[in-house]
Amino acid sequence: MSSAPAITRQETYDAIVVGSGISGGWAAKELAEKGLKVLLLERGRDVKHGDYPTAMLDAWDFAGRNRITATAAGRQEKQGRTGYTTHPASAHWFADDVDHPYAETKRFDWMRGYHVGGRSLTWGRQSYRFSDLDFEANAKEGVAVDWPIRYADIAPWYDHVERFAGISGQKEGLPQLPDGEFLPPMEMNVLEKHVKRSIADRLGGRVMTIGRAANLTRPHLGRGTCQYRNRCSRGCPYGAYFSSNASTLPAAFATGNLTLRPFAVAAEVLYDGARGRASGVRVVDTVTLEVIDYRARIVFLCASAVASTALLLNSVSDRFPNGLGNDSGELGHNLMDHHFKVGASGITDAFADRYFRGARPNGIYIPRFRNVDAKSRRQDYLRGFGYQGSASRSDWTRGIRELGLFGGEFKKALVTPGPWQFGIGAWGECLPYHANHLKLDRTRRDRWGQPIVVFDCGWKENELAMRKDMQASAIEMLEAAGLKEIKGYDDVVNSAPGNCIHEMGTARMGRDPRTSVLNAWNQVHAVPNVFVTDGACMTSNGCVNPSLTYMALTARACDHAVGEMRKLNL
């Protein structure tokens, strides 16, 4: 426990939400709309919708074109590990690794967005539902612990969040990828349509669908239609994709019940041992270093999986010497991410006279087809994977790889589009392993006195066996489509845990307080007025992009919390 800080003031609210990203924005909106006075804490700066400094810039407007300065890159060494996050158009949406250090027993790529909106500004926007294939897997296979919920519990909440967020997509009727409340789908281009037909015809009806994306294909609840600029990660001036800034926070502010407090890093959840409840959250003002205690009847932790877990681990008391709610010893364990950067690409001479207009900020999706029924059962690994990808015509950047070419003809060729190419990469499920964990190093602290996080997480046999099939199946599909120059790849080194930015699982939901941290309503088992609804709550990680599930679980938990408050249980 930190030495007695100087508490300069106290304020009281009905609810405190920690973190303003996808989960925190939803918690703020749902709780405020239900009439609660909500304090939303954000450790970083404020970002109002529209305050996106690079949104309208072209490549030539950046001094280094596609690069940030060497000095800036040196301050974002870890944030740059994805290869795309620290592009000058979006680097300001990622944390400074010097000011925000963490340690790695094994490499872990922890991408963080420290500003209002968090990573909702930069997320990939792919939005898929988990199915009972996911919710039942642990129980059926005897892996880790059972999810305390099933698809029927979350389905109405998927409906609820999809209606507000606006998800474009195509219904396919697949049990492993439930359909949702979709806006009109985006269209596939000519090569994508060809590949779709080919794999359906030649691989037993295998499905390829357009990506289900939180990009608007028509005006929706006051937000504008996608303009097909594919500059989403800069922030969208049209509000054409879902972010906290464009979507949930304006709705929450409209109630008059929301107070936003940026520059406030949560240091610990305050625990009232006499009542057996949390009493609020202690924060450090990141600018003045003032320490402030905010009080509330309920606390929602939505700071992202790792940060919410670290906050609980740092909240120690006589009752909880190992971190708030950590009776099970599972807090910080079962860290998961999706493993990816494996797949294949190929080209074709076909459609040479066809092209497209507009930069579609979305690709195609090939839903999981392994271990979905008896026929697709694999002996070499559990669970499965889905593919994301797209077809396009290469542009001048191909010239960088054409090392033997130069001169006038070379220059002329690069002005024209190259051959059509199609590439897919697989996103694979990772099992929850107790050994994969994070912990706090209390001997090392950041500028605000908070202990730093240490990661120890790695892929194991199941993931590595799955990767072989992820590559082989990609090649098989491209061959079925008749592509040429097919190249498989498996960059397992750069698919380090964290790199997919789907980190989750470190405060898992479960049925038994002895083996899990949260119950079926995302409440900390032993401290029921603390809810954790970001990725930390996940009991397994499926193979689909998880943000939509965080939204649905958050809205569901908010509804439960307010119901319990009305019944005076909280």
Partner 1 sequence: MISPENSSTTGMLSRREALQRAAFLLGAALSPSIVAGVLRAQPAAAGARLSGEHDLALAALAERILPRTDTPGAADVGVPAFIGRMFAEFLTTAERSTLTSGVTALDLGCTARLGRPFAALEGAQQDDEIRRLIGSKDAAEREFLRLTREVVIVGYFTSEKIGKTLLRYEPVPGRYDADIPLSETGGAAWNRP
Per CB under 8 A, residues contacting partner 1 are: 56, 58-60, 63-71, 73, 186-190, 226-231, 352-360, 393, 395-397, 399-400, 403-404, 406-408, 410-412, 414-417
Task: Give 63: exposed, middle or buried? Use CB within 10 Å, 0-12, 13-18, 19+.
Answer: exposed
214 vs 562 by CB, closer to partner 1:
214
The minimum distance between CB 193 and partner 1, in angstroms, equals 8
Residue with tokens 């905010």: 294
- DSSP assignment string, 34-72: TT--EEEE-SSB---TT--TTTT--GGGSTTTT---HHH
Of the two residues 6 and 403, which places its CB atom closer to partner 1 in the complex? 403
Task: Give, in degrees to the nearest 5, the angle at Cα 361 between 357 and 367.
Answer: 115
Q: Judged by CB, which is closer to partner 1: 175, or 358?
A: 358
> Which is closer to partner 1, CB of 110 or CB of 420?
420
Whats the size of the chain, residue-wise?
570
Taking the least distance from each CB to partner 1, the nearer of 3 and 416 is 416
Nearer to partner 1, 20 or 421 (CB): 421
Q: Measured from the CB of residue 416, what is the shortest distance to partner 1 in angstroms?
A: 6
Query: Around Cβ 432, how many Cβ atoms within 10 Å?
Result: 23
Contacts of 400 (CB under 8 A, 6+ apart): none
Q: How far is the CB of 382 from partner 1 (least distance, A)?
A: 37
In the DSSP assignment, the letter for residue 215 is B
Q: Which is nearer to partner 1, 230 or 569 (CB)?
A: 230
Smallest separation (angstroms) from partner 1 to the CB of 472: 30
To the nearest whole angstrom, how small is the minimum distance from the Cβ of residue 133 to partner 1? Answer: 31
Determine which helix (DSSP H) or strand (DSSP E) holds 560, and give its type and residue range. helix 547-566
For partner 1, the closer CB: 196 or 467: 196
15: closest CA among 38, 47, 35?
38
Q: Which two tokens stand for residue 87?
A: 């592009």
Residue 213 CA to residue 183 CA, distance in Å, equals 10
Q: Shortest Cβ distance from residue 359 to partner 1 (Å)? A: 5
Non-local (6+) Cβ contacts of 207 within 8 A are 172, 174, 200, 366, 367, 369
Q: Map residue 466 onto helix, strand or coil.
A: helix
In whole angstroms, the minimum distance from the beta carbon of 61 to partner 1 comes to 8
The number of angstroms, rounded, from the C-alpha of 494 to the middle of its chain's C-alpha atoms is 18
Pick 161 or 414: Cβ nearer partner 1: 414
Shortest distance (Å) from residue 477 CB to partner 1: 20
Least separation in angstroms between residue 88's CB and partner 1 is 9
Q: How far apart are CA 429 and CA 434, in angstroms?
A: 16
Residues in CB range of 558: below 8 A, 6 or more apart: 26, 27, 30, 31, 34, 300
Q: How far apart are CA 157 and CA 98, in angstroms?
A: 39
